[in-house]
Structures are given as structure tokens and as C-alpha cells.
Amino acid sequence: MTLLALGINHKTAPVALRERVAFGPDVLEQALDSLLSQPMVQSGVVLSTCNRTELYLSVEQQADLQERLVRWLCDYHHLNEEDVRQSLYWHQDNAAVSHLMRVASGLDSLVLGEPQILGQVKKAFADSQRGHALSSELERMFQKTFSVAKRVRTETEIGASAVSVAFAACTLARQIFESLSSVNVLLVGAGETIELVARHLREHKVQKLIIANRTRERAERLAEEVGAEVIGLADIDARLADADIVISSTASPLPIIGKGMMERALKARRNKPVLLVDIAVPRDVEPEVGKLPNAYLYSVDDLQAIIEQNMAQRKAAAVQAESIVVQESGEFMSWLRAQSAVETIREYRTQAESVRADLEARALASLQQGADPQKVLQELAHKLTNRLIHAPTKSLQQAARDGDTERLQLLRDSLGLE
């Protein structure tokens, strides 16, 4: 039995190829049935995300194993093998185990340390189990991987620092305000970045969330998800004074919040401080706003500096995480090697038990026919000894004929001979 990891990812293939090799949820079960019907495949897990498609398999080792698996992948997706082959990577046994642990820990992600991949790996494992039995080795590999990913999160700072603009904006807000549960937040825009910001803020239970957008329909969809109030861009002037935090990201060619608007809001707030995070390009907030007392303005460049600093921290944490993967994958491989010994011991015991049962049955038959019990016992002991030492004796003789002193010593050790 061999463990394999075969796949492509964002490092080896463009999105145009990745999307053609992906397994959608609607075809996953059929794909697994097809994969497991291959005679060399014992069991498997398919991981398919926007950034990677990977097959984790326990297989019977064969000379043309790689060729046959690549051919299956290409045939299933109706792809030319040459188009796929140069983007594929192939890991076996310890390398496959290490790769899965690195993937689940976020060490192989497009964004180093991102946490979503662990959930995706867990879902792939659960989906692949549904209706398909996994080998004990493959199941143990995934369970071990989940504990390793948890250990990496617990013992390192791999996921502690913001490395996306949306997350950095929320991190900045949490650093300035002791608790977000007592603040009002105005989000300007309803695009992807603002969606991420809104979800982060909802997790931190902000007191009130207001979304201002040019088109209400998109804003209302997001507002329903995060429990926010929706206003139009024209309403910002009247509602700006309600906001302790303003985070803006639109595609407007002109600033939406000007110095005069902010001055009126600060006056209405009796100069209670306001944090403004402008992550739009072109900028949504006039730079002069940052010069006003009690208006603290951060641009996308300010956030980028935070992100770069945090990425350096993640890279340092990744070194520690890699050492955890090396240690844990080594422990798993030790367990895997021990499993092969367990199977060998089981087979040896079964063989010895079969010999004993056969000779015992013959001895009992002789006694029932009136044979001398002492002679029956002597014959039983003699035959049992000869049968049990037959295979080791042949191995010793062959090693001696070959002049293989190392094997001879190994056999002596196995037989308990000094």
C-alpha cells in the first residue's frame, strides 16, 4: 500500500486550466465512483477548491501507476494529457503526508496562513467518506492532519495578523476601539471588499451597521445577511455624525466624503473622534479630512504597510509551522511502518495457528484410533517443530549460499539467537 497526492494548484496552473480540472459538488460522487473503480486505487479523497484540485489516494504500487492516474484524470475531464501533465505534481508516502499537512495548515495557500482551507479539507474528507469506505491508513492520515493544523494555529502566529485589506481595516478598528459592541459603523459601497468587512464586523458584534450604496438592491442583499440598515449615497451627509467608524470602498471617480461634510459631522458629534478607513482607488475621502481634529484617516497605502508588516510576521510563524509538519509527518510515517509490521505479525500468527490446528486434528484422530498417547505426543511435537522452523531454515540456508552476512545476522536477531 502506498499513499499518494496528485494535483494542480495556483502555483502550477493558471485559472483557465484549474477550472477545467475542478470537481464540482454535483459531480463529486460520480467522480469518486469512477476513481475508485480503477483497479490500483483502494480509497481516495478529492479536494477541489478555486486554487487547487488534488487527489489523495491509498493505492497498490504498480510500475505504470502515475501514467494510469494521469490518464484517468484527463479522460474524466476530456483534457489533453500534455496540457495537464506539465502542471501536475506528484507526492508519495512521507511527501504526500507532509503536503496534505501543509495544505490544511495554510502553508501552501495563495494567502499564507489563510484559515478557510482547513474547512475545505475537512469538507472534502467528509464528502469522500459519504458512501465510500476509506482505508485505515488514509483515514488516519486525514485525522492526523486535522490535529496538526489545529496545533499550527494554536502554537504559532500564522493566522494572527491581517493580510487582506478587508481584514486589515477591521483589525485597525479593533485596535483603536477597545470593543466594537458599542460603536456605530458606516460602510460606503457594497462590493466584495465591503462584503468581507461587513462579515468581519458582524462577527465582532458591532452596535449598529449602516451600508450606504449607489444602488440599494445590492446593499439590501448584504444588509439582510449582516443585519444592517441601508441608505443612499445622498444620505451620507445627514447620517455621518452617527458613525464612530467609516470604511469606504466604491468605484466613484470623485470623493464622496469631503472636508466640509466631515466638519459638519464632527460639529454634530461635539468633536467625538471618528476613524475613517478609505480603501478606494481613486479615494472616496478627501485627504484634507485627515487634517481635521478628531478625524483619523487611513488610506489603502497605510493598510498596505500594515499588511506587509503582518505578512513578514506570518512568514516567521511559517518557519515554526513547517517544523511542526516535519515532526508530525515523521510520527505518522512511523505509525504507518508499524502497521505493516502488525499485518506481518498477524499473518505469521495465523500461519502458525493453522499449522497447530492441522497437527492437533491429526493427533486427536490417531488417539481416537487407539494409538499410543506417548508416541502421538512425540510425533506431534516433532512435526510441529519441523513445520515451524521450515521457512526460517530455508531463509538461513539461502542467505548463507548468497554470502549475505547482513541478512544472516538479521535472521539470527529475528529468531532470538545470540
pTM comes to 0.67
pLDDT digits (tens, 9 = 90+) for 246-290: 999 998 989 999 999 999 999 999 989 999 999 898 899 999 999
Q: Is residue 321 part of a domain?
A: no
Instruction: Record the cell numbers describing residue 317, joined without a space.
Output: 510563524
pLDDT at 115 over 90: no
365 appears as a binding residue in the annotation = no
Which of residues 172 and 260 earns the better pLDDT score? 260
343 appears as a binding residue in the annotation = no
152 and 216 inside one domain: no
352 and 257 inside one domain: no
67 appears as a binding residue in the annotation = no
114 appears as a binding residue in the annotation = yes
Q: What CATH number is associated with residue 304?
A: 3.40.50.720
Average pLDDT of the chain to the nearest whole number: 91
pLDDT of residue 162: 64
pLDDT digits (tens, 9 = 90+) for 338-391: 887 777 888 889 999 999 999 999 999 999 999 999 999 999 999 999 998 898
Is 74 assigned a catalytic role? no
Q: Is residue 47 part of a domain?
A: yes
49 appears as a binding residue in the annotation = yes
Element (H, E) at 55: strand 52-59
pLDDT at 192 over 70: yes
170 and 290 inside one domain: yes
**Inter-residue contact 286 to 227 (CB < 8 Å):** no
pLDDT of residue 347: 86
3-state secondary structure (DSSP) of residue 6: strand
pLDDT above 70: percentage of residues in the chain? 100
pLDDT at 164 over 80: no
Q: What are phi and psi of 235, to 5 degrees?
A: -90, -5
d(CA 372, CA 37): 58
d(CA 1, CA 3): 7
Q: Which domain holds residue 208?
A: 165-308
Q: Is residue 36 part of a domain?
A: yes
Instruction: Give the chain's domain count.
Output: 3
Which of residues 168 and 387 earns the better pLDDT score? 387
11, 14, 15, 50: the catalytic one is: 50
What is the residue type of 127?
D
146 and 187 inside one domain: no
52 appears as a binding residue in the annotation = yes
171 appears as a binding residue in the annotation = no
155 and 170 inside one domain: no
